[in-house]
Amino acid sequence: MPLHSEILEQPERLANLVASQRKTVEEIARAIKSRDVSYVFLAARGTSDNAGRYANYLLGAVNRLPLALATPSLFTYYQQPPNLAGALVVGISQSGQSPDIVSVLREGKRQGCLTLAITNEPDSPLASQSDFVFDVQAGPEHAVAATKTYTAELMAIAMLSAALGGDKSNWDSLVKVPEWINEVLKQDETIRQTAERYRYMQQCVVLGRGFNYATAYEWALKLKELTYVEAEPYSSADFQHGPIAMVARGFPVMAVVSKGKVADSLMRLLEHLKEDLLAELVVISNVDTALSMAQARVAIQAEIPEALTPLVNIVPAQLFSYHLTLAKGYDPDQPRTISKITETR
């Protein structure tokens, strides 16, 4: 099936991307440094919007670049675009076709900003409005649900961060990402068996924080578009400001916990959910304590830097969503009512 095969393609695609596009992204980084760029203004939709959430944390934490997520309707329906002085205007889109994302880069160029397209289609309308194009080189993605294009977008963002930072150790870590993903893919059958447990699940929440805030959103999106489960993503901090009230005995909570600065806060919440609220926990983690609290778990490698864990953590989430779709009797390659390319205005 295309979706499953595209999930399995990801290590090879990412290895090729790092090897082939380093010079391109270093040229982009030099151009950014030569301009008076004070922040990043990023436009995206759907899965690519979740890649933008990752960029928000990575470029902020590693490169000290503030990032603002665009509101494309200001550029299209309202025709009241903000002042973008000092911005690097970035559009992320697998297809490069969505008119509202194109409109943001067009306006950025009109205002004299440096523009960058991150896309799988270097000849697309989005690319035509950009000073620089980062081709994520994921190859044709036939399944409706994006998988390899998402991780390729994450890798593009991580490569841009590394190029802007100039630290060789960051590149050394990026080269290891495909190997770390391959280790996760070895758990495919185990994840299939785990997903069977949740074949009657109708609703759940998905928790993450920090770099994996993006992972929570992308996992929830895959559950919605493939399994039709009402999956609501939250920052673990926001979740405690009201939404936690929905949790009762047996309520499914998906969580992504990686070693790093936010791990302790997530584990305190998981302990409360398990011990006090009797929630059903599904955990992707490289923290043994977090894994031990879960009814269902997927372990990732302990040595992955926190900033790169979203590239690895999303893969078991993709597999879980794929296998749950089959367990529910749905077609993972043809989800209802949605198409591969969505052109919003």
pLDDT in tens, 127-173: 999 999 999 999 999 999 999 999 999 999 999 999 999 888 889 99
Round to whole Å and give the CA distance between 116 and 89: 6
Those residues whose C-beta lies under 8 Å from the C-beta of residue 174, and which sit 6 or more positions away, are 18, 155, 158, 159, 162, 308
41-83 pLDDT, tens per residue? Answer: 999 999 999 999 999 999 999 999 999 999 999 999 999 999 9
Tell me the pLDDT tens digit for each residue of 309-325: 999 999 999 999 999 99
Please give the CATH architecture assigned to the domain spanning 2-179. Answer: 3-Layer(aba) Sandwich (3.40)
What pLDDT was estimated at residue 139? 94
Class of the domain covering 187-327: alpha beta
**Which two structure tokens, joined as six digits, stand for 223?**
């559950």
Q: Residue 299: enclosing H or E segment and its boundaries?
A: strand 296-299
pLDDT digits (tens, 9 = 90+) for 279-298: 999 999 999 999 999 999 99
pLDDT value for 5: 97
State how far the Cα of 169 lies from the Cα of 239, in Å rounded to an integer.
Answer: 35
The whole-number pLDDT of residue 254 equals 98
Q: Where in the chain is the domain with CATH 3.40.50.10490?
A: 2-179, 187-327
pLDDT at position 341, please?
A: 59
- Bigger pLDDT: 177 or 338? 177
**Residue written as token pair 């665009």:** 70
AA letter at 136: V
Alpha carbons 231 and 204: distance in angstroms, whole number: 5
**Amino acid occupying residue 91:** G
Instruction: Give CA–CA dist 57/262, Å, rounded.
Output: 13
pLDDT averaged over every residue in the chain: 95
Decide if 62 contacts 150 (C-beta within 8 A).
Answer: no
Summarize the confidence of residues 332-344 as an average pLDDT.
73
Question: At which residue do the structure tokens 């749950």 appear?
Answer: 324
Percent of the chain with pLDDT over 90: 93
Phi, psi of 16 (to 5 degrees): -65, -35
Q: What is the DSSP string of 28-84?
A: HHHHHHHTT--EEEEE--HHHHHHHHHHHHHHHHHH---EEE--GGGTTTS--PPP-
pLDDT tens per residue across span 180-238: 999 999 999 999 999 999 999 999 999 999 999 999 999 999 999 999 999 999 999 99
Reading the block at residue 229, the tokens are 């489960």
Report residue 51 as tokens: 């890649």
Is pLDDT at 342 greater than 70 in this prediction? Answer: no
Does this model's pTM top 0.75?
yes
Please state the rounded mean pLDDT for residues 231-258.
95
